[in-house]
Structure 1
Amino acid sequence: MNGQATDAGTGRDAILRAARRAFAFRPYAEVTLRGIAAEAGVSASLIVKHFGTKEALFNTIADFGPAAGLLFAAPLDTLGRHLVVTLVRARREQQGDPLLRVVFSLGNDDERTLLRERFAEQITGRLAALLTGRDRTLRAELIAGQLLGLGATLSLHKTGAGATATTERLADLYAPGLQRLITGT
């Protein structure tokens, strides 16, 4: 999920989920508003009403800023736990990972490059600016990788132990490693 507030009952959430999948797995030129609408169970005109154009919809999907705002809304001394709790809650409550779409952007298309660049700027770069001490950029990259790994693991094992573990238990296990990277110790 990109972290933006959505309007319940309007189909906006379903449109965003369908668009994330479409843009992550297919080249931009092959993605159509009709295809996204069909997957979302809405009309193409509803997509136009909410987003205007395919380009505007893509730009909404490629914006990690709202997710960064949620993820980084904690003091550094508790940020590791906050990152895990926020990521897991977003996945469970909004049925989508706020970051994982960047993993599927590893192709060479300009749109996929834009996703990676925005992730680097809005997630990794913003996190590096928050950190103190040595190797801030390296630590930010490692933290981003850990968060992507957590999201990928929870996606891979949808019915596994992580699916039944409480958010707090996942944070108890995962956050200490993140916190060490945050503090640089």
Structure 2
Amino acid sequence: MHNHDQPKATAYTGAGISPVPEPGKDAEPPEPYRGIYLMPMFMCLYSHDLEESEVFWTQGLGFINLYTMPGVMIHLRRWAFQDVLIRKSGPKAGSPDTEMESIGSLSVAVTEKQIGKIVDACERLRPGSTPAPIRKPWNSLEARIHTPEGLALTLTAALAVDKRQTEVYLNSHGQ
């Protein structure tokens, strides 16, 4: 893989700030990050039932409730830079944009040892919300979960890479 915007020696210098551990069966997931930072990006969803959303995201997906404005919004977080704001929707929510429906998709990094547990927890909370994880040809294990807000959320667990096989492949393709 080559990043054409940066010299090869510095292409992955940002990996040091990522909370995602090296892939593998024994990879330990980091704890939810409770620190405060300026969020470089976050997802905003709208829900008719903030309590249902909070239970699903915390007990099912493993997020923590970082901050709540009762009846208005909840700020949820998992690892650093995995922030989701869920705002109350409906005609009495107080703002024209709260009539919006939540649609779209989001992918969230997890570890291989977490994915099955998260899928099971979500299935207990909302039967039929997710099928079993599937091995993908791009070297990941993935599960698609449908949240109470209508979001198609994909859990993605990178699998360990055979470094020798990768090196042979890259060398044979001129990388």
TM over 0.5: no
Which protein is richer in helix relative to its size?
Answer: 1
Bigger strand share:
2
Greater RCO, CA 8 A, separation 6+: 1
